[in-house]
Structure 1
């Protein structure tokens, strides 16, 4: 069996872009057809002659010069099989290259099509951004976070890509698993609400569950391709009030039995009713209920009055309501929320 040559090498050879060593390799492969008649065993003598005469000059024109070096002259008299075999081989190469280019073009078109069918969200603001997914799930993106998802989810799985910090409330559908592909970890959703933090700038990633359950695994080629809702060796299953932390330093994923749950309180759905209350009276109530730290950067905001029913609201929804009703903006600075 002849030595295998890549399509890329043969294409560079035909285009005259080979190095000297590559050209020598192709010439040796080309000349090896002297003892091989397999390509033309179905042709009779007259057909072989016609084929040889038809492409003889074409071969000399297209492949006899590579890096200014000529292929040694081949005498037609005693090497008919060499020429016929080589001609057929070059025709096969041309066909293979054509198919390769066609597949390449199709692959690029598929990628372009995939990009057109994807929704990409980047939160460059200082606020939390809320997004509704095609299946009815909701995602809140913290500042400097990114999310990508298809306009229409596949029938077999719902796969999204994220970077940064996002909180998910996922619509249940056991027949169509919800899977989050982030920088270091893969999170599979078995329940409803949880937070994922994972980005390229950090040496750690974590998942914390508020309700329901999720499984977390270290990102590998195998975990990316596995879209089934099952538990693999090394996966960590998490339930409410549990957390798993991935460390890039030692490439480990560990469950945390006891962790500070205060930062997750902002995602609790609380029932709050304010009947003509001043903002200065509302803020302490929000801080107490959501275990957070809200401050007023503009004193005049304290005198704004609010009449609102925040039944079933988490804190980001409350802040969004304040923005729409009283035009109060906010900015997240570390663990502090500034109203302004």
Structure 2
């Protein structure tokens, strides 16, 4: 490995405070890894992307930086293989332990991966089930992951911000803390939280990314510029019953009204009371309340009897209650929910 560069110089460079001579020194150090053995040549593109996210979040968490300046003085983005080698060298400078991906136990209903740099642990949760999976973040915020959705977050947020990264469809109920803005990075957009509950959908398979607000307010911007905790002129602010829609092919970001049958209604908290009702009478109420289409895998389930008061429940809460009280499982198949 090359001789490490001074920590204070790298910090100045990241903050954009370097002189011309110092910038040249950093670039010389950076490009010295051109021929360095990268140790990641065997990684798949997906693994490369994940490792890059892990390194990024870990370094940001250790430096306690959020506002990263976008300047022309920064080297062009390099392929991960060479960038990884440089980041590994930087890790030595910051007296951090070696960067690596540590695979933990694979449970039936979740897959967790932890990346460790010093005292910062990056957790990656992927919902590989047909259920909606709930994750509680370090600040007590809650996130519901739809099937195939993923989230990455540190075990402890930075002092001046709370940053997470997602893929797929995730609904957030964020704990308010004006001094520590909550920022969500996904494939093509950045979402900043100025309120409480909202739905984010952004994945590799879709040309469209959108954010729908249930309560409070959020701002959305196209990815690519510097991430800052402040509201900028390029962001779209949206409120309840509104959504921000970003088209990847046209690079356009607009605010629109939320459709009546939007998925976000599934997370609206309500009160439903069932007094010894059979499941066949309960399903139409759930369909109407949450704008969903629930089916049963067998006719006998229709005769199950439920006595319950669902105070302040959203749809995932109700489905979990059905699982526990009636021993009824469920799976999200295409655009409907199947009880079995």
1:303 corresponds to 2:303: yes
Equivalent position to 2:97, from 104, 109, 115:
109
Equivalent position to 1:199, from 200, 203, 215:
203
**Whole-Å Cα distance in 2 between the matches of residues 12 and 275 of structure 1?**
70
What is aligned with 1:140?
144
What is aligned with 1:158?
162
**Whole-Å Cα distance in 2 between the matches of residues 318 and 266 of structure 1?**
10
What is aligned with 1:274?
274
What is aligned with 1:220?
224
Contact 2:131 2:146 in 1 (8 A): yes
The verdict on how the C-alpha distance between 1:301 and 1:154 changes in structure 2, with shifts beyond 3 A counting, is same
Larger deviation, residues 319-328 vs 261-270: 261-270
Give how far 1:174 is off. Answer: 0.5
Question: How many residues are paired up?
Answer: 249
Partner SS, residue 233 of structure 2? coil
Larger deviation, residues 258-267 vs 213-222: 258-267
What is aligned with 1:78?
none
TM-score, normalised to structure 2's length?
0.67
**Whole-Å Cα distance in 2 between the matches of residues 10 and 220 of structure 1?**
26
What is aligned with 2:177?
173
What is aligned with 1:185?
189
Give how far 1:151 is off. Answer: 0.9
Contact 2:91 2:99 in 1 (8 A): no
1:246 corresponds to 2:250: no
The verdict on how the C-alpha distance between 1:221 and 1:280 changes in structure 2, with shifts beyond 3 A counting, is same
Determine which structure has more spread, i.e. the larger CA radius of gyration. 1
**Which string of whole-angstrom CA distances, capped at 9 and with x for unpartnered residues, describes residues 125-172 of structure 1?**
011001111111110000000011111111110101100000001111
Give how far 1:231 is off. Answer: 1.8
Give how far 1:233 is off. Answer: 1.7
Give how far 1:300 is off. Answer: 1.2
1:130 corresponds to 2:134: yes
TM-score, normalised to structure 1's length?
0.67
What is aligned with 2:64?
none
Structure 1: unaligned runs, 5 residues or longer: 14-99
Give how far 1:322 is off. Answer: 0.6
**Whole-Å Cα distance in 2 between the matches of residues 292 and 11 of structure 1?**
53
**Whole-Å Cα distance in 2 between the matches of residues 143 and 118 of structure 1?**
21
Between the two structures, name the one with larger relative contact order (CA 8 Å, sep ≥ 6).
Answer: 2
**Whole-Å Cα distance in 2 between the matches of residues 278 and 322 of structure 1?**
12
1:255 corresponds to 2:259: no
Give how far 1:264 is off. Answer: 2.0
Give how far 1:259 is off. Answer: 3.2
Contact 1:241 1:261 in 2 (8 A): no
Contact 2:163 2:184 in 1 (8 A): yes
What is aligned with 2:287?
287
**Whole-Å Cα distance in 2 between the matches of residues 197 and 251 of structure 1?**
16
Partner SS, residue 166 of structure 1? strand
Contact 1:245 1:256 in 2 (8 A): yes
Structure 2: unaligned runs, 5 residues or longer: 1-23, 36-86, 101-115
What is aligned with 1:330?
330
Contact 1:159 1:178 in 2 (8 A): yes
What is aligned with 1:21?
none
Contact 2:203 2:209 in 1 (8 A): yes
Give how far 1:255 is off. Answer: 1.0
